[in-house]
Structure formats: C-alpha cells, structure tokens
Structure 1
Amino acid sequence: MTATLSSFLADDATRSMAALQRYVNAPDPDAVFLDDMLERIEAARRRPCPPRPRTGRALRVLLLSYAGAGNTGADLRTIQTIRHLQRLFGERGERDEGLRIELFALGDLFDHPVLAATPRMPVQLPYVPDAFAAAIPDYDLVLNVEGSTYTSKFSDSLSGMLIGGVALASAAGAVGPAGAAGVPGAANGDAQVRGVAWGIDSGEMTDALARFARAAATGAHIFCRNDAAREHLASLDIASLPGADCAWSWTPVRTARVAALPANYVALCPNNPFWWPVTADVARAKALDTQRASSPLRYGPFHFHTWDDAREAAYDAYVERFAGLAERFRKQGFPPVLVAMERLDRAACEDIAARVPFDVPIMARGTATLDDVAGTVAHAARVVTTRYHAAVVAIASRVPVFGLSMDARIDRLLTEGGFPGWFARCTDPDGGERALARLCQPQPAIDALRDAYALLARREQMRLGQMGEWLAAAVGRR
C-alpha cells in the first residue's frame, strides 16, 4: 500500500512538473496560468469536500499573501491579520485545540517575530495550481491578505494565484455553523464560509484576468478596502462587502535606528512605478544562466520587469522630481530620509540620493527591519510616497502625507478619506510643487489635518473590527 501511495504521488509530481514547463515555455505564460488555475477550480467544484466537524481539533487557516518578498505593506497586512485571527479564534473552547495558521509566502525575508513564527504551507507539487489544488481542501479557511489582488498592474499570474486560491477554498466547501449571521445560505441552515478576500483592492485588468476573476468568484466572500473597488468588481458582476485595509491596526515602534534619524525629517518613499508588470521569459532566463550573467530586470527564476526607452525616460523624470523635493524640503527645515518600503525600492532610493548634493540616509528593507522601515514613516514630520502603505501608516500615525501615485490605490485612499487634493500622478511635472505646497502649510492647517486623520483611522479600524465580527460569526468561535 505504501508503494502504491508513493507511485501515485510520483505520478502527480511528474504531471505537475510537465504543467510547470508548459507554463514557463508558453508564448503567453500568464494566460496559461489562468487557464490552468480555472481548470483546477472547476474540477474542485465537481467534487466538493464533505463537511468536517468543528470541534475536537484546531481551526486550520491558510493565508495567501506577498509576505516574504520584503514588501513592508504586504508584511504589515499579514502580521495584523495573524494577530486579528489569534484574538478571534486563539481560545476556541475546552473541546477544541485552538488555531493553526499557515502562510503561503513569496520570498524568504521574515524579519518580524510574528512572520518568523508562522509555519509555511507545505508545498508538495512544483506548479502552484497543482500545489493549491492538493493542499487547500485540508484547510477550514483560506484568507487572501494581499491588497493588490484584482489588478494586472504587477502580474496576472500573481493575481490569478490569489483569486484562484480563494476560489479553490470556496469550491472545497469548508462548512461554518448553521445560521451564522451575514453568511449566504444561513437561512437554510447550511451556511458556509469558504475562501475570503480580506480588505482587498482592484485596478486595471487585462481581459483575460477579468474573465478569470468573474469565473472564479462563485462562493467567495470578498471584502474591499474602498468603495471604488466595490464598484469596479460590481461592473464585473462580482459581489463584495465593505471592509478596510488590514494595516490600519498597526502600532509602530521607535527603534534605535529610527531614534538616530535627524529631527523633523521628511520621509520620501519612492519606488520604480514604470517597470511593471513582470512576465515570464524562460529563454531569457536560461541565456543569462548559461552565461552566468545577471540582469537588474530579473525577478525570480523566470520573470522579468518590463522596460523600454519610454519607461526609462519617465523613471528619470520621476527620480529628478524626488531629488528636487529632497533639496527643497531641506531648505524648509525638513531634512530628507529615503525609505525603501520594499527591497526592490532601494535602487530608486540610491538613484535619488546620487542626484542630491548632500548625504541622505536610506532606510531600506533587507538592511533595515520591518519595524525600522515602518517606524521611519510613522515618526516622520512629513511623508511623500508612491507606496500605498506608507500613506496608511502615515495617516494612522497622524503624519501629513502627500501621494505621488502610480495607480488608483493612493488616489482612492485619499479621495474617499476626504483629502482629494493631497495626491498627484507620479508623472505630473508639477507633482513636487504641489506636495511641497500642501505639506508646508501653516501649523493650524497641519493640526486640523492631523485631527481629520485621527477620525479616518478610527473609522477604518472600526471597519476592521466589523470584518472580524463577521468572520467570527461565520466560522464559529468554537
């Protein structure tokens, strides 16, 4: 019997490796990935798992995220979700074994104790759709905790993984308590909580991703962090619920590295807005490996950032804009500190620093910890950012912030929060001047802004609490 099981698993691994090779060698790898993920979802819908008893065992939860890649926003969301789940389900009753959380992560940087202590999902098959299809039915609940989900901005394969994982959980049919408030089917006594998207956002999508998202939405519970995302999903016939970003509950610390920064500093949080999306190019990767060469555009084993002359020119103007801001803020009494919210952002910080005629500190993930980086934003006097979660951390900490946005996320945050004049596109030639004018207003205006931030933060934290109440009722506390 053991030999038969080993043979079965070996056959699965062989098929999965063949599927992986087909994906990476396809002319359009993202389209292949979406098709493969949808095929696994439809297969799971044809064979849903039987209900499992809630009592007598741990509640098993899988988190899908971008954690581990060195992205501060993604890590903050994941950490705060773990803490929220522990408060909700950590002590589920004398008849239960509590809560077990596992993490599907994309990277190996876990420089925070909560992330370091969270077990990883065992990956038994080489191709993600197969690995998910095999593993996800064993979980009671799957939460997608990555914010940038319904968008083609970064990678259709990444979005397909996040959306598809939730859909596979929904198809598996993890059963919640009958009659749970707010859960579809509760009136019939067969309420189910399956896959949940936890405070997510949307953006421009390719036709292929939009079709996939619509096909995968059945049974999923989707909480959006802004009204614009809900409207966008509604246009695709995807139902959603109001929610909030998981990072609103973050409480920063003042680390020794933050305390050593100059007084009254402005935190400048750039990235490279112009080299997305990433796409698979296995021939290019093999050529580099054969030559033992590297490329600054390479992202992982097979993927590469998008780059051309027009993108390079736009990036050069963007870097110049931030360098000008650094000099002008310094003259206004705000010494600049460059913050790399993701490891990838360090190159942009270094490019900006090279254009400034004085030394500028750089606080970057990878060489600085998550607490150092998030704390640098939270304890600044002012913030200018292209990174969404730098804006969230700043507002939650009552730090005046101006967004130089690369997509709709910061625009939605500030517009729906009541601050529509506090952002510009990162390509706007006058974006720097507008940031300086807003952030250097007289003190009474800044004080009023901080008071408004406090109200917004409380509202978002209340929404987070409501999301938790929904989940507790749906899954059952014991």
Structure 2
Amino acid sequence: MRHRPIEELLQEVAGAADPEAAIRRHILDFMEAIAESPGERWQPGTPLRLFLAGYNGSGNTGADVRVCEMVRQFKAVVGPELLQPGLLMVKEHLPRDLFAEVDLELGDLYLPVLLAQKLRAYHGVVTCEGSMFKSSHADLFTMLMAGALGLGAAAGKPAIGYGADAGKMTPALSDFVAEACRDAFVISRSGASADLLRDLGLRVESGADTAWTFDPAPPARAEELLRAAGWDGSMPVVGIAPVNPFWWPARLDPQKAREMEATGAHSDAHYGSGVFHTDTAESRALYARYLESIAGAVSAFGRSRPVFPVIVGMERLDQQACKDLAERLGGETAIFAAQDRHPRELVGLLRRCRILISSRFHALVTAMPGGVAGIGLSMDERIRNLFDESGQGGRAFRADDPELEPKILQLLESEAEWHGEAAVAAERTTAREIRRMGEMGIAFADELRRHHPDLPLPKRPRSWDSHLPPLPPLVEDLLARHA
C-alpha cells in the first residue's frame, strides 16, 4: 500500500461508485502500514514535534483564532523551548503573525498520503477542527480528522482531538470514526459531544473551545473602523454574522468535477478539490428566506429606533452571504470581511456590538468575553449547545425556522428587558469555559506523559489556572469577577 503511486490512488477514488468509501479504505490501509513503520519518535533532549491538523489557511477566522490559542496554551503547558508545532494549511490564506513560531505544512498532496507522511515525521498529532465528528458540513472533513488521529495512534504516538464537537454522522462515517479513533484520545467542547463519542467507544473527556482567551484589537481600533463606515459614535451597533446554512453538507463528486472541467457546469457550487456544496431549488429557497428573515427583522427594528447594523464575514466562504444580506438591508450596510480584516480587528468589532445575530459559532464565542448579548441562528448543534449550556436557550433558533423573522424581531424590540441578563450570562459562560480550557490543559499534559513519562514538562500545580496561556487583562478581570 505504501508504495502505490498517488496517481493510482486518485484514479481509484475518481472511478469509485462511492469515492469517500475509497478514501476511508486508503486511510485504514495507511494505518496498517504506519503501525509497521511509525517513523520518528521523541527522544529526551530534543523538541517535541506535534502536528496540528485542522482547517487553517481557508480564511476562517474562528479556525485561526482557536488554533492560535491552542498553540499558546500548548507552549504554556509543554514549555516554549520543548514544543515545536507544525500546522497543516489546507490553503494559504493564513494570518502568519498568529503562527509566527509554527512550521507551516501546505496540504498540497492527496491528504491521506500527506497525513501518513507527516505522522511518520512528527512525534504526535493534535486534530484542531472544531466540527470534528459530524456529517452536517462534509464527511470528508471528519474522515481526515479521524484519519489523522487513527494514523497517529497506529504509530503509537500521542493522538489527541482537542476541543472537538460531535454531531449526527452517517452510519458509514460513524463506523469509520469508531474504528480509526479507538486508540486515540478526544477532549470534546461540550457535554453532548462527549456523550456521543463515548457511545462510539472512544476515550473522551469533556472540555471547551479554545477561542475564549483570544486578545482582539483595542476598542479604539474597532471604533475607528466603525466611524470610517459611517457610525456616529453613539448609535447601538447590531452585528450580523451570516452564512449560507443550506449549501451544506458538501460532498466529494468526481463526476461533477469532470463536468465542471469540461463545460463549466456546477462551478457556483464548487467548494474545492472535487467537493461541491448542496445546490438545489429547495436549498436556494431556504437560503433566501433565511436572509430575508434577518433583514426584515433588523430593518423593522431600525425603523423604531436608531441603530447601526454591520455585517461581519467570519470566513472567506461567507462573502456571498454578506453581499446578499447587504442588498436586502438596502445595499449600504457596512461589511467587515475575513478577506479584508485581520482576526484581531474582526473580533474587536464583534465586541463593540450591543447585540450580535450570528450563525457563526466563533463570532459568538469571541464576542462573549466582552459581554455581548447574542442571538444564535443555528445550522447544527454547536450554537444550540453553547446557548443551552449558558442558560440562554431562548435566544437560539434554527436557521430554517418558518417563524424566524418575528422571533428575531421580538427579541430585538424587547432587548432592554433581557440585555443585562444576557451580558452577565456571556461573561459567566466565558469564565466557566476558560476554567474548562485549563482543565483540558491538564488532560493534554497527562496524555503526553502517558506516552512519554520522561518528557520534562514544567513543574506546576495541578490546577486549571496553571494550565492556561497568558491571559488578556479583560479576561483576567472577568475571571476575578465571576470566581
């Protein structure tokens, strides 16, 4: 298996009746091969090289922020001199300053082959994608995350899923995750995800996301950007972070790829590398109704009092959704987009909002440390889990709710009644999640010691606050107030 040319493997995928099943077979074959020839192992006196596999480089603010904070936490737990991380880049849209001391590895090979090569060269793997185990986005993403964990575990190296979400999976994908990850270790970011993964027989602990500790641009920079967009300095800012919830899941489709190459067909739905978004009359109608519901509610709210709506594109992929929403809001609404703004600026803008209406999980997560009151429009279980665990479930709705517009409008018009409580809940949630993040650091250190008892980790108390990266002043103050 290890000697088969990449071209042969790709031809096998392209000609398969079920191309994703072919990829799963390739990953399992590589797991057998790497068990026989695991490659590099950590030796005392050398840096620990960890391969971080995720969704970085796509221009996704949430992915970049959360992995940036993982790296900072790992350096704090392991020691900056001992840790030498490498990061998988799926594309090259990466804020390099957030990963200044990280080796960047471009995913320019057939990914099962690339993962097998890197897992032989590194001493362990950490999978970083938040939507790690689910079919709601793309089975291919989950296959690659599970494959990375499986390859690392098969090589007898640390294989850790960090801050993972789990949701509904197809039976074939669920079986693959159970088989590939049976010897890995997963730290979930919600209790519901942990329960689902335990049901698959995985070794799991509950944890958190890691974006809570991110330090954005100062408020003055956010206000400067808002003023340049027409803000008068006093109007309440209503932020909106839209997506297209209805062009998921994306699927690998070699036939569509061939047709697109020959005639240009399907190009509007092309995600990349032979993967295509869902594109049907029903999905387009649901998307239009979702945008019209948001725009209708925000416009009606703006007619009753002065507000300044802004649209925040958290990923390059959201560009069209931002434009489509702006048109429905009158075309002059300011758009701050990932392709134009640094993650620190985008998060700074989110924290300057009075209310944030969001279908982006990380828009809500990074805004909440600033006490921003959120309204969640969910496309899967992530936002629902976040709001439910925060005691704020009444402000999370499904993106396809037929009553979405009146529900958003009712909350906007009554915001004076719930805003204060929501702001406090956001701060308390942040404090709780950062404690969980510290507990994740303890579990991470324990797993490294399990594989390498001689690893000279810094001596520190076994407490959550001793396993965090350096914290911004706002977060330090928040933890003190919500002890």
- TM-score tier after normalising by the smaller chain length: 0.7 to 0.9
2:23 counterpart letter in structure 1: F
Task: Determine the C-alpha separation between the residues in 1 that align with 2:398 and 2:407.
Answer: 11
Q: CA deviation at 1:22?
A: 1.5
Map residues 375-414 of structure 1 onto 2, 5 A cutoff. 375-414=348-387
Quote the residue 1:182 is aligned against.
Answer: none
Quote the residue 1:86 is aligned against.
Answer: 75
2:155 counterpart letter in structure 1: A
Cα deviation digits, residues 215-270 of structure 1 (max 9, x gap): 01222110011111111112222231010001111122143435645242111111
Please, which moves more after superposition, 351-360 or 108-117? 108-117
Task: Determine the C-alpha separation between the residues in 1 that align with 2:351 and 2:423.
Answer: 13
1:275 counterpart letter in structure 2: W
1:303 corresponds to 2:275: yes
What do you get for the CA RMSD once the two structures are aligned? 2.3
Please, which moves more after superposition, 217-226 or 330-339? 330-339
Q: Contact between 2:239 and 2:353, CA under 8 Å: does it hold in 1?
A: yes
1:452 corresponds to 2:425: yes
Task: Determine the C-alpha separation between the residues in 2 that align with 1:243 and 1:271.
Answer: 26
1:105 to 89, 104, 125: 89
Quote the residue 1:177 is aligned against.
Answer: none
2:225 counterpart letter in structure 1: R
Task: Determine the C-alpha separation between the residues in 2 that align with 1:329 and 1:362.
Answer: 19
The verdict on how the C-alpha distance between 1:22 and 1:61 changes in structure 2, with shifts beyond 3 A counting, is same
Q: CA deviation at 1:154?
A: 1.6
Task: Determine the C-alpha separation between the residues in 2 that align with 1:47 and 1:12.
Answer: 10
Name the TM-score, length of structure 2 as normaliser. Answer: 0.86
The verdict on how the C-alpha distance between 1:301 and 1:358 changes in structure 2, with shifts beyond 3 A counting, is closer
1:412 counterpart letter in structure 2: N
1:426 counterpart letter in structure 2: A
Please, which moves more after superposition, 21-30 or 453-462? 21-30
1:266 corresponds to 2:238: yes
Task: Determine the C-alpha separation between the residues in 2 that align with 1:14 and 1:238.
Answer: 31
1:216 to 180, 188, 192: 180
Task: Determine the C-alpha separation between the residues in 1 that align with 2:204 and 2:381.
Answer: 19
Q: Contact between 2:69 and 2:210, CA under 8 Å: does it hold in 1?
A: yes
Task: Determine the C-alpha separation between the residues in 2 that align with 1:411 and 1:201.
Answer: 12
Map residues 252-401 of structure 1 onto 2, 5 A cutoff. 252-254=216-218, 255=221, 256-258=224-226, 260-261=228-229, 262=231, 263-291=235-263, 295-331=267-303, 332-357=305-330, 359-401=332-374
The verdict on how the C-alpha distance between 1:144 and 1:390 changes in structure 2, with shifts beyond 3 A counting, is same
Q: Contact between 2:135 and 2:168, CA under 8 Å: does it hold in 1?
A: yes
Quote the residue 1:233 is aligned against.
Answer: 197
Task: Determine the C-alpha separation between the residues in 1 that align with 2:274 and 2:418.
Answer: 50
Quote the residue 1:417 is aligned against.
Answer: 390
Cα deviation digits, residues 96-136 of structure 1 (max 9, x gap): xx32111112111113512365322366x832112212220
Task: Determine the C-alpha separation between the residues in 1 that align with 2:444 and 2:456.
Answer: 9
3-state SS of 1:317 partner? helix
2:133 counterpart letter in structure 1: Y
Q: CA deviation at 1:424?
A: 0.8
Q: CA deviation at 1:362?
A: 0.8
Task: Determine the C-alpha separation between the residues in 1 that align with 2:456 and 2:118.
Answer: 24
3-state SS of 2:103 partner? coil
Quote the residue 1:140 is aligned against.
Answer: 123
Task: Determine the C-alpha separation between the residues in 2 that align with 1:78 and 1:430.
Answer: 36
1:155 to 138, 144, 156: 138
Structure 2's unaligned 5+ residue stretches are 449-454, 458-483
Quote the residue 2:478 is aligned against.
Answer: none
Cα deviation digits, residues 179-211 of structure 1 (max 9, x gap): xxxxxxxxxxxxxxx100001101110111000
Map residues 183-194 of structure 1 onto 2, 5 A cutoff. 194=158
Q: Contact between 1:38 and 1:212, CA under 8 Å: does it hold in 2?
A: no
The verdict on how the C-alpha distance between 1:477 and 1:117 changes in structure 2, with shifts beyond 3 A counting, is same
Q: Contact between 1:271 and 1:387, CA under 8 Å: does it hold in 2?
A: yes
Quote the residue 1:179 is aligned against.
Answer: none
2:196 counterpart letter in structure 1: H
1:119 to 96, 99, 103: 103
Task: Determine the C-alpha separation between the residues in 1 that align with 2:225 and 2:101.
Answer: 24
1:60 corresponds to 2:42: no
Q: Contact between 1:24 and 1:302, CA under 8 Å: does it hold in 2?
A: no
Please, which moves more after superposition, 363-372 or 395-404? 363-372
1:273 counterpart letter in structure 2: P
Task: Determine the C-alpha separation between the residues in 1 that align with 2:248 and 2:271.
Answer: 11
The verdict on how the C-alpha distance between 1:122 and 1:292 changes in structure 2, with shifts beyond 3 A counting, is closer
Task: Determine the C-alpha separation between the residues in 2 that align with 1:122 and 1:334.
Answer: 43
3-state SS of 2:203 partner? coil
Cα deviation digits, residues 328-373 of structure 1 (max 9, x gap): 2323332211111111111011111112235101111112222232
Task: Determine the C-alpha separation between the residues in 2 that align with 1:12 and 1:140.
Answer: 20
Query: Sequence identity of aligned pairs in percent?
Result: 30
Task: Determine the C-alpha separation between the residues in 1 that align with 2:86 and 2:226.
Answer: 31
Structure 1's unaligned 5+ residue stretches are 1-10, 93-97, 175-193
Quote the residue 2:401 is aligned against.
Answer: 428
The verdict on how the C-alpha distance between 1:218 and 1:320 changes in structure 2, with shifts beyond 3 A counting, is same
Cα deviation digits, residues 281-324 of structure 1 (max 9, x gap): 33433333344677221111312111111111111111111211
Corresponding pairs, count? 442
3-state SS of 2:105 partner? coil
Task: Determine the C-alpha separation between the residues in 2 that align with 1:422 and 1:273.
Answer: 18
Q: Contact between 2:239 and 2:310, CA under 8 Å: does it hold in 1?
A: yes
